[in-house]
C-alpha cells in the first residue's frame, strides 16, 4: 500500500508591505518541497486580505520590481481561511511582516488546532517588535545597541535622547521588516520627517544609534525534530561601491549593491561565539523551528545583536537558505527538516 503523502499548505502573500517578498519566497519554496513526501497546497493571501487557493503553485506572475504578486490573478480560487486549511497536516506560514510574522496567523492556527512551521504566538510577536525584542535580549545578557522607543504619542526625541544616541541614527517602524520604512538621519532637522515615514508603517517607532564601521553578520538557526537547536556558519554582507550607505530594501531585493561572504571570513573563536550567541538569542525569545539572527561586529571586535527574524526570506538571494547550504544542508533537506520539526511538535500550546 502506498503511504499517503503529508499535505503541506504553504501560505504566502499577505496584507503587509512585504507582500511581494513573501510571494518571491513562495516561488522558491514551492518547487523545492520534496514531491515524494509532500503534497503541496499553495494558499495565497491578497494585499486586501482575501484568501485564495492556487491552482498552479508555480504560475506566479511578475509584479512591481519583478517580484511575484497576487494582484489581478485569474488562476486563483477565492476561499475562506478555514476551508483553505482544511484537511492539511501542516501549514508553512511563509508570511513576512505584519499580519503574518507577528503572531497573528500563528494565533489563528493555534485556535484551529493546526500544526505549523516556525515560532509560536509569543515568540513571533516579540521578535517582530524591535523594541520588546531588544528588551528581552538585554534581560538575557546579550549586547544590543543604544536605542530609544517612541510611543504612539511621541512626535520627536527629547534633547537628552538625542545626546544619548548621537548622530547618525536609524529611524524604524518597530514592527516591520525588509528595511521597509527605515530612514538614516544624519541631521536632526530631518528627524521628524523620518519619524513620519516610519509611522506610515507602524504607530510604534524605534530610533537606533548607528554603529560606525561595522561588519554585518547573519546566522541561520534551525530546530531539528529531536529538539536540537543549531546555528549555521555566519554569512557577511559587504557593500559594493563607496556610495552604498546601508542595507536598504533596494539593496536587499532590487539591485546588486551588496555581496555576501558565506561563510564569513572570521576567526574560528569569533565564529564559535556567534553561533553560541545566535542559539542563545533564539531561546531567549522562546523561538521554535527557525530564525535568522543578525549581528554587528564592531572595529573593537565587539558583537552586538541587531535583530531576530522569525520567518526570514526564502528568496534565491536570501541569507537563511544560503547560510545552511554553506553549512551542509541543502534547500530541500532544510524545508523537510522544518516540516518534520513542526509535525514532531504537533498542535497546541508551545
Residues annotated as catalytic (active site), given as ranges: 18, 178, 253, 292, 294, 307, 309, 313
Residue 273 region, left (φ>0) first, then alpha (ψ -120 to 50), else beta?
Answer: alpha
Burial of 278-307, coded b for 16+ CB within 10 Å and e otherwise, reads: bbbbbebbebbbbbbbbbbbeeeeeebbbb
* Cα 91 to Cα 93: distance, rounded to the nearest angstrom: 6
φ/ψ (deg, to 5) at 17: -70, -10
Cα–chain center distance at 222: 13
CA angle at residue 28 from 19 to 341, to 5 degrees?
A: 95
Cell of 289: 523551528
| DSSP characters over 36-89 | TTEEEEEEEE-TTS-EEEES-TT---B-GGG-B--TT-SSEEE--HHHHTTT-S
3-state secondary structure of 200: coil
What is the Cα–Cα distance from 62 to 81, expressed in whole angstroms?
25
Cα–Cα nearest to 263, from 335, 324, 312, 314: 324
As a whole number of angstroms, the distance between CA 42 and CA 316 comes to: 19
Amino acid at each position: 500500500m502506498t503511504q499517503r503523502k503529508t499535505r503541506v499548505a504553504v501560505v504566502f502573500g499577505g496584507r503587509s508591505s512585504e507582500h511581494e517578498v513573501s510571494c518571491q519566497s513562495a516561488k522558491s519554496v514551492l518547487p523545492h518541497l520534496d514531491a515524494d513526501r509532500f503534497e503541496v497546497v499553495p494558499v495565497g493571501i491578497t494585499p486586501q486580505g482575501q484568501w485564495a487557493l492556487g491552482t498552479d503553485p508555480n504560475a506566479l506572475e511578475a509584479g512591481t520590481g519583478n517580484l511575484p504578486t497576487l494582484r489581478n490573478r485569474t488562476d486563483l480560487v477565492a476561499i475562506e481561511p478555514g476551508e483553505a486549511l482544511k484537511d492539511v497536516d501542516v501549514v508553512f506560514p511563509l508570511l513576512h511582516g505584519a499580519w503574518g510574522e507577528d503572531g497573528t496567523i500563528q494565533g489563528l492556527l493555534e485556535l484551529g488546532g493546526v500544526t505549523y512551521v516556525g515560532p509560536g504566538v509569543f515568540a513571533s510577536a516579540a521578535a517582530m517588535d524591535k523594541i520588546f525584542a531588544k528588551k528581552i535580549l538585554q534581560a538575557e545578557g546579550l549586547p544590543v545597541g543604544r536605542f530609544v522607543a517612541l510611543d504612539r504619542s511621541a512626535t520627536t526625541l527629547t534633547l537628552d535622547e538625542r545626546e544619548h544616541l548621537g548622530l547618525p541614527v536609524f529611524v524604524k517602524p518597530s514592527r516591520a521588516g525588509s528595511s521597509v520604512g527605515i530612514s538614516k538621519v544624519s541631521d536632526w532637522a530631518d528627524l521628524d520627517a523620518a519619524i513620519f515615514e516610519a509611522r506610515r508603517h507602524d504607530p510604534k517607532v524605534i530610533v537606533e544609534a548607528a554603529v560606525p564601521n561595522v561588519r554585518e553578520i547573519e546566522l541561520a538557526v534551525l530546530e531539528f525534530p529531536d529538539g536540537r537547536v543549531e546555528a549555521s556558519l555566519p554569512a557577511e554582507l559587504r557593500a559594493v561601491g563607496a556610495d552604498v550607505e546601508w542595507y536598504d530594501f533596494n539593496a536587499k531585493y532590487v539591485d546588486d549593491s551588496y555581496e555576501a561572504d558565506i561563510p564569513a571570513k572570521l576567526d574560528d573563536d569569533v565564529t564559535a561565539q556567534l553561533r553560541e550567541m545566535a542559539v542563545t538569542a533564539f531561546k531567549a525569545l522562546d523561538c521554535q523551528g527557525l530564525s535568522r539572527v543578525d549581528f554587528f561586529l564592531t572595529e573593537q571586535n565587539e558583537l552586538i545583536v541587531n535583530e531576530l527574524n522569525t520567518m526570514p526570506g526564502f528568496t534565491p538571494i536570501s541569507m537563511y537558505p544560503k547560510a545552511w547550504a554553506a553549512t551542509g544542508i541543502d534547500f530541500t533537506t532544510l524545508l523537510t527538516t522544518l516540516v518534520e520539526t513542526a509535525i514532531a511538535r504537533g498542535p497546541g500550546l508551545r
